[in-house]
Amino acid sequence: MPGYRQVSKAMAPIEKEEMTPLVKKLVAMIENLREENQRLKEQVQQMRDEIAVLKGEKAKPKFKSSKMDENTDKDDGDACQGEKAEKPKRAGSAKRSKTAQLQIHEECVIAPTMPVPANARFKGYRDVVIQGLVIKAHNTRYRLECWR
């Protein structure tokens, strides 16, 4: 057809003399239809995934976009020198001592199995807490008084 221009995924720019109000409206309509088409495709895929899950199958996996481009833009001078870059910690991820509030029932001091050299200095203890579970029988006899 003469004057027919094939519309590809990326529309070719339209010359100024061809940009009439009608062409502008048509381009806007094409863009709206393209967006609606994409939205409907995503909705259909979600429904297919849901049907697959209801049938007991696995849904289509969702892949996250690559973060390589974002990381190359940042200039990390320390990371190039072989040091591990310190990542900021997320809220609530601070480590705390799990045994600080633990009640200790028994404490044992363990001496080294090999003899200590004469010039060695005592520097203190290294604490290791082992949590165990003790189950034992506890029988109670209740003696009720009987009177006549």
Confidence of residue 92 (pLDDT cuts 50, 70, 90): low
Give me the percent of the chain exceeding a pLDDT of 90. 14
Contacts of 66 (CB under 8 A, 6+ apart): none
**Does 123 fall in a domain?**
no
**Does 25 fall in a domain?**
yes
Contact of 34 with 22, CB cutoff 8 Å? no
Q: Report the domain count for the chain.
A: 1
The C-alpha atoms of residue 10 and residue 120 are separated, in whole angstroms, by 77
**Does 36 fall in a domain?**
yes
**Does 2 fall in a domain?**
no
25 versus 12: which is more confidently predicted? 25
On the question of pLDDT at 48 being above 50, the answer is yes
For residue 66, the tally of other CB atoms under 10 A from its CB is 8
Q: What is the mean pLDDT of residues 137-148?
A: 85
Lowest mean pLDDT among 16-20, 30-34, 74-78: 74-78
Q: What is the mean pLDDT of residues 61-90?
A: 64
Range of the domain at 33: 21-57
**Does 44 fall in a domain?**
yes
The C-alpha atoms of residue 148 and residue 145 are separated, in whole angstroms, by 10
Quick one: which of 62, 64, 28, 63 has its CA closest to 45?
A: 62
Lowest mean pLDDT among 20-34, 72-86, 104-118: 72-86
Lowest mean pLDDT among 8-12, 39-43, 103-107: 8-12
**Does 37 fall in a domain?**
yes
On the question of pLDDT at 36 being above 90, the answer is yes
- DSSP H helices, 8-143, are 21-54, 68-73
- Residue 84's pLDDT is 57
